[in-house]
Structure 1
Amino acid sequence: MTEIFDAIVVGGGPSGATAANDLALAGRRVLLLDRAGRIKPCGGAVPPRLLKDFDVPLEQLCARATSARMVAPSNKAVDMPVGDGFVGLVDREVFDEFLRARATSNGATRIDGTFEALERDAEGTAVIAYRPKGAPRGSEPIRVRGKVVIGCDGGNSAVARAALPANEKVPFVSAYHEVIESPPEGFRGFEGGRCDIYYQGHLSPDFYAWIFPHGDKTSVGVGSAVKGFAMRDAVARLREQTGLDAFKTIRVEGAPIPLKPRKRWDNGKDVVVAGDAAGVVAPASGEGIYYAMTAGRLAAEAAGTFLTTGDPAALKLARKRFMKLHGQVFMVLGMMQWFWYRSDNMRERFVKLCQDPDIQQLTWEAYMNKELVRKRPMAHVRIFLKDTGQLLGAVFSGRKREGAASGSM
């Protein structure tokens, strides 16, 4: 008879490590199965609220950004100072391992290995087949049983493919970044306390490129959903235009990043997904760490309720609670991405909007607090009017161009 755990968590990124840690603290017998050595391409930005909500020590931050610079297609740059707060920056190689080690120290059993299949024993209990780290492909997998399985194995989740409806297509962008040695302070305008975001079609036709400092390292990356877009070439162009091609590349990483929560997170029986596997990366911004950890915690809570009551309906609570907390923000950000990122003309207008003090303040308040800000209603009214003016300006300028073109035929 194969060994049985209360919960098997597949994937040891921020979401999976959080789920495993919370369940272990609750006294559950937990297996954390992680494909060791995989690091997700990520700018590494985390809000201060994450440190508080998930008891993460300040020492895990490799840098603190106090401003962001938005760069338009025309190379016009708009600085957005954070104000009294900051954007924390983590190195995923270090941060993810901290979370995994913490889960282990609190009682989770950790195994480095690769998920291969979701099976069932004679009683219908979930069986996870995995290949241990170092074992050759094709070798006989090891099997363990779990009363509940939590899939936190990324945007291309094998657990989701095995357990959830196959007809749901989750939109995603492909992300690629190069971690390089940080240039000296002031090198061609480089600032270790500033995140630079490039809204330029030649770097990404539908998303953005970034330069995020991580202390002695810097992440230079790009995302795009356009099939066949050469992201390595785009990063090379960004490094060349900023002078960062002169600095040593430490490592490179790529992965799909989902941009819409799945409609279904559970199989109605004993499997629930979280993190990128559930699609909880914010549209427009691409922010994922805080949302992944939140989803991991909610999945752990739902799994704990299921283990106590035996009612599979409890697993639906993970998505229901997440969407109640963040669904409106995801909807607004999705609309922003669809509208502002579709052409260089619109990206230019978007960066221009970022000059507005009301937009800057509400952006940072919403980012750091992770909720829509309601305490300054008149600011929202002003922002709505400004957004509407920009939208109408784009529509009418487009019609004028079309009229001019037809008049010249």
Structure 2
Amino acid sequence: MSNPETFDVVVIGGGPAGATAANDLAKMGRSVCLLDRAGRIKPCGGAIPPQAMRDFDIPESALAAKVNSARMISPSDRKVDMPIEGGYVGMVDREHFDEWLRERAAGNGATRKTATFDRIERDSDGTAVVHFRPGQERVNGETESVRAKAVIGADGANSFVGKNYVPGYETVKYVSAYHEIVTTPKGADFDGTRCDVYYQGDISPDFYGWVFPHGDTISVGVGTAIPGFSLRSACTELRRRAGLEDAETLRREGAPIPLEPLKVWDNGRDILLAGDAAGCVAPASGEGIYYALACGRLAAEAVDEFCATGNPKALKKARQRFMKAHGKVFWVLGILQKFWYSSDKRRERFVSLCADPDIQYLTWEAYMNKRLVKARPGAHLRIFFKDLAHLLGIASLRKG
């Protein structure tokens, strides 16, 4: 293209972060081009809290299911139920949910292009020229291009944009995740309103396995940062334990999931990372959808300010605002993961803690509303002493 079209912003990647950034920028009146590769589906349990639905105008019709409890399963097979009092957690299938987000962005004015990102070059005045290949191939076929005042790289963990265009970019430690989407057995003894979480070392030596309902389908998945661990074999065993070994397998997906935010999200000029590309996934829980939505919105706000002022310092505000809102939670969850997930003995104690009503209350309140919790009188103090007892190994580990 000798005279490529010019946009205010090109967003590379159409997951929750990229699609939200494109949607918000289009609603702000910015011209936006959203590039997304066809057929890309991230392995994900699919849980989104009510706060995400409120903050990002997600209707209940976008949900595949609602759950009202979680079941924690320990190495000794102890099962601890954690009911949600007066609420629910929404469940989505990423194949359909991400497409809904992209369609919403397009409906609000973003230009969608189904294409594979190829590279960024500069024209004579220094403006970014984004090259892409229609379809899925990175190396074959003719490239097309568009010009962009700013670029948002929302292209996932181990971001190609980050590696090649953000100085100082480092690949963060990540969990390798794998899941299988299976059909929900008809008439089987399966609770479609409960999420099951397996804290068992042979299913995952340092993370967890999950069985999450999506209405007509179920996500059965595992994650680990241990090289050489067979995720597929672990998933097969998890399906057996969950009674889903004979369920029809619809698709299989795997991908890395980062578990700590990057130190730098921008190139100091006109490129900003968002979502998994910026490391915005919560440690311990692996929760990513809410934080990707939040990161996409903050990226949009920062890029809008950059387009208005031309000052690259505006791009840094995305990370600053994200860490101010969520940095403390990420820090605490990181400590929790390193300690409680380190052995089956500690995982057993962790599941035992989950039986405590105070911990259940604070956990669900914090998760569902994404805010600091005003605990019931004395709850924090009681939890402190209970945690101490478990850390010292003097708490009872009775099997449920």
State the TM-score, normalizing by the size of structure 2.
0.96
C-alpha displacement of 1:61: 0.8
Alignment of 1:305-324 (within 5 A): 305-324=305-324
Aligned twin of 1:10 = 12
Q: Distance in 1 between matches of 2:27 and 2:92?
A: 24
Shift in Å, 1:380: 1.5
Deviations 1:134-187 (A, max 9, x none): 668333321211100001110121111122234623110000000000124552
Please name the residue that 1:153 is paired with: 155
| DSSP 3-state at the match of 1:393 | coil
Name structure 1 gaps, 5 residues minimum.
396-409
Equivalent-residue separation in structure 1 for 2:167 and 2:364 (angstroms): 37
User: Counterpart of 1:403?
Assistant: none
- Please give the alpha-carbon distance, in whole angstroms, between the structure 1 residues aligned to 2:394 and 2:167: 40
Paired with 2:125 and 2:377, the residues of 1 have a C-alpha distance of: 57
Q: Which residues of 2 match residues 3-402 of structure 1 at below 5 A?
A: 3-133=5-135, 137-166=139-168, 168-184=170-186, 187=189, 190-376=190-376, 378-393=378-393
Equivalent AA in structure 1 for residue 178 of structure 2: Y
CA contact (8 A) 1:11 1:34 kept: yes
How big is the alpha-carbon RMSD for the aligned residues of Structure 1 and Structure 2? 1.4
Secondary structure, aligned partner of 2:392: helix
Tell me whether 166-175 or 248-257 shows the greater mean CA deviation.
Answer: 166-175
Question: What residue number does 2:398 align with?
Answer: none
Higher helix share: 1
CA contact (8 A) 2:116 2:137 kept: no
| Alpha-carbon distance between aligned partners in 2 of 1:186 and 1:381, rounded to the nearest angstrom | 43
Deviation at 1:374, TM superposition (A): 3.2
Q: Is the 8 A contact 1:178 1:221 kept in 2?
A: yes
* Deviation beyond 6 Å, 4+ runs, structure 1: none
Deviation at 1:97, TM superposition (A): 0.5
Query: CA separation in 2, counterparts of 1:17 and 1:136?
Result: 21
Percent of pairs with identical residues: 61
How many Å apart are 1:241 and its aligned residue? 2.1
Q: Deviations over 1:210-263 (max 9, x none)?
A: 000000100000010001110000000111222201110001111000000011
2:393 aligned counterpart, secondary structure: helix
Conservation of the 8 A alpha-carbon contact between 1:185 and 1:191 = no
TM-score, length basis structure 1? 0.94
In 2, Cα distance between the equivalents of 1:394 and 1:344?
A: 16
The CA distance in 2 between the partners of 1:134 and 1:162, in whole Å, is 20
Whole-angstrom CA distance in 2 between matches of 1:77 and 1:374:
28
Shift of 1:119: 1.4
**AA partner of residue 296 (structure 2):** G
**Which moved further from structure 2: 122-131 or 345-354?**
122-131
Measure, in 1, the Cα distance between the counterparts of 2:285 and 2:144. 39
Runs of 5+ in structure 2 lacking a partner?
Answer: 396-400
User: How many aligned residue pairs are there?
Assistant: 393
Structure 2 CA distance, aligned partners of 1:163 and 1:380? 45
Q: Quick one: structure 1 residues 269 and 136, their matched pair in 2 at CA, closer, same or farther if it must change by over 3 Å? A: closer
